[in-house]
Amino acid sequence: MHRRAATVLVLGMLSVVLVGVLAMPAVAEITRGDCRGSATFPDKSTDRILDAARPRSDVFEAPLSATIGYSGDLGPAAEPSDEEIPFEGGVVIRLPRLSWQIVGWVGATKEVSAGGEYTYDLPDFTPQGTGGMQVTAWHNHGGTVCEAVVTVSISGSPGGVAVGAAAVTVLAGAGTLAAGRRKP
Amino acid sequence: MKGRPILGVISGFLFGFLLGISLFLWGVIPLHSDFLWILPLLGIVLGLVMAWWAPFGKTSEQPAPVTSPPVESMDPESPESGPTS
């Protein structure tokens, strides 16, 4: 009887977790300013363009390595200036309760748009097929602030790391249940 | 507590932490999900509840204390006299 009740307790906790996950709301994308921006992944067969206006709830699957083309501007009303304006910006990954800036830039320019190519190559042990990572790109151009949020995951299927983590989780769960064993 | 609270806290924390990591690795929750720090706390609570509840294992039944019925004094005029061995 007690064993059945303990099982129900554990399954109940898992159900609460899953219900909470499925109930997460879909929210918006460009959070500040009128900026526009996109990145093109030419090696992908489908869903090649990651646009800054993409809804946060729509996870974009990026390959483990790629050469991408990017472009962005400060908005339809922005025009080049005669003198250089200082700017700064960066790309931030949101973690639970904190954020981690992975790329940053700073300088001065007369332009209001930029573009080019960028090549990246993530190590093979990078987890693939995971839940989304919320990536925020921000840019401050002489006081004009833009911010866009997209959700990205690395394409692929969960590999041995995920299986190992699940196995260790089961062991830790067994240890937790063993805490309910009476002392002699 | 009838169970093992230290084991419950340690393994419960690990269970919740690893459960969160596994859910992320299997694509169930995103990396920024609050569940990644809530689950370890829930795991600790679960471990303590299990240690307090202790539903597993044999119940340590202590033998009932043996009480002998009071022996009436042989001499009704001497109430302090007890049983003789």
Give the pLDDT confidence of B17-37 residue by residue, as tens digits.
999 999 999 999 999 999 999
- Kindly list the residues from chain B whose CB atom is less than 8 angstroms away from the CB atom of residue A149: none
Given a cut of 50, whether residue B85 has pLDDT beyond it is no
**Complex confidence, ipTM:** 0.73
What residue in A sits closest to B58 (Cα-Cα)?
Answer: A182
**Residues linked to residue A120 through DSSP beta bridges, in sequence order:** A66
- Computed over every residue of chain A, the mean pLDDT equals 85
State residue A96's pLDDT score: 87
- Kindly list the residues from chain A whose CB atom is less than 8 angstroms away from the CB atom of residue B14: 172, 175
DSSP state of B9: H
d(CA A3, nearest CA chain B) in Å: 6
Burial A10-27 (b: 16+ CB within 10 A, else e): eeebeeebeeeeeeeeee
d(CA B52, nearest CA chain A) in Å: 7
Q: Say if the Cβ atoms of A97 and B10 lie within 8 Å.
A: no
Q: Say if the Cβ atoms of A173 and B15 lie within 8 Å.
A: yes
Given a cut of 50, whether residue A70 has pLDDT beyond it is yes
What residue in B sits closest to A1 (Cα-Cα)?
Answer: B55
Given a cut of 90, whether residue A130 has pLDDT beyond it is yes
DSSP state of B34: T
One-letter-per-residue 3-state SS of chain A: CHHHHHHHHHHHHHHHHHHHHHCCCCCCCEEECCCEEEEECCCCCCCCEEECCCCCCCCEEECCEEEEEEEEECCCCCCCCCCCEEEEEEEEEEECCEEEEEEEEEEEECCCEEEEEEEEECCCCCCCCCCCEEEEEEEEECCEEEEEEEEEEECCCCCHHHHHHHHHHHHHHHHHHHCCECCC
- Kindly list the residues from chain B whose CB atom is less than 8 angstroms away from the CB atom of residue A162: 22, 25-26
d(CA B45, nearest CA chain A) in Å: 10
State residue B12's pLDDT score: 97
Q: From CA A167, how far away is CA A162, in angstroms rounded?
A: 9
d(CA A44, nearest CA chain B) in Å: 21
Q: Say if the Cβ atoms of A96 and B37 lie within 8 Å.
A: yes
Task: Give the helix/strand (H/E) hosting B49.
Answer: helix B35-53
- A150 versus A17: the higher-pLDDT residue is A150
Q: Say if the Cβ atoms of A165 and B7 lie within 8 Å.
A: no
- Taking the CB of residue A61, how many other CB atoms lie within 10 A of it? 17
Terminal alpha carbon distance of chain A: 20
- Kindly list the residues from chain A whose CB atom is less than 8 angstroms away from the CB atom of residue B35: 17, 20-21
Q: List, in order, residues 6 or more apart from A76 with CB less than 8 Å away.
A: A34, A36
pLDDT digits (tens, 9 = 90+) for A27-51: 446 777 888 999 999 999 899 999 9
Q: Say if the Cβ atoms of A176 and B55 lie within 8 Å.
A: no
Given a cut of 60, whether residue A175 has pLDDT beyond it is yes
